[in-house]
């Protein structure tokens, strides 16, 4: 019964996101001194599913980059489309459009710091993922930040980061860094 109720709630949120602007309320915040704790695996899964539904609803309007731009996702990180250059060729991430006002010591499920776009063949930007980011200097805990039950990774840019592939299926997993289905072949 709980699984059905969660599924119906998720569908309702997703359908509502198609007709309404993204919600402005926050579903969950993460601070080093107030990490959420859940008592069981089932309740953790339910919380993660609810947070993923919140994320999808909050970012659904950003499939149109003009809407993301209005929400201050204007800083193009590294000014390039990112593709794994290692020998493994793990895939791509695309362009990272960051809202600099969100770069602090906390994250909010409904307001990811970066939106990831894959360049399309006709010049359009296709929303594929989001990235939650906390600058290393802003994180005061000795433990890595966590969200969706996943630990952030400290990257080469001294940023704690967590990718969430909510808009493009990733065979490597929902929270993997690189997606083999994303390319920069159409980057200008």
C-alpha span between 95 and 82 (Å, rounded): 6
pLDDT of 143 reads 96
In a domain, 173, yes or no: no
The reported pLDDT for the residue numbered 13 is 35
Cα 117 from Cα 114, distance rounded (Å):
10
Q: What is the mean pLDDT of each run of 10 residues along the chain (188 residues)?
A: 39 35 34 40 77 97 98 96 96 98 97 98 96 97 96 96 98 98 95
Q: Which residues contact 159 (CB under 8 A, 6 or more apart)?
A: 133, 134, 135, 136
Owning domain of residue 81:
2-164
Could you give the number of structural domains in the chain? 1
Q: Does 55 fall in a domain? A: yes
pLDDT at residue 18 in the model: 35
> What is the model's pTM?
0.78
- In the block, tokens 């950003």 appear at 62
Q: What is the pLDDT of residue 188?
A: 82
Tokens representing 5?
A: 């109720």
In a domain, 170, yes or no: no
């Amino acid at each position: 019964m709980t699984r059905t109720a969660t599924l119906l709630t998720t569908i309702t949120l997703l359908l509502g996101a198609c007709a309404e602007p993204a919600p402005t309320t926050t579903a969950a915040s993460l601070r080093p001194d107030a990490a959420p704790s859940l008592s069981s695996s089932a309740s953790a899964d339910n919380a993660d599913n609810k947070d993923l539904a919140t994320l999808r609803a909050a970012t659904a309007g950003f499939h149109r980059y003009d809407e993301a731009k209005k929400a201050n996702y204007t800083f193009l990180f590294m000014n390039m489309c990112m593709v794994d250059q290692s020998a493994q060729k793990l895939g791509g991430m695309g362009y990272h459009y960051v809202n600099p006002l969100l770069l602090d010591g906390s994250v909010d499920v409904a307001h990811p710091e970066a939106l990831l776009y894959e360049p399309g063949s006709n010049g359009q930007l296709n929303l594929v993922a989001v990235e939650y980011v906390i600058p290393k200097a802003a994180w005061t805990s000795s433990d890595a930040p966590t969200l969706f039950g996943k630990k952030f990774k400290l990257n080469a840019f001294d940023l704690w980061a967590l990718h969430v592939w909510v808009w493009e299926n990733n065979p490597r997993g929902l929270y993997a860094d690189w997606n083999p289905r994303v390319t920069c072949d159409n980057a200008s």
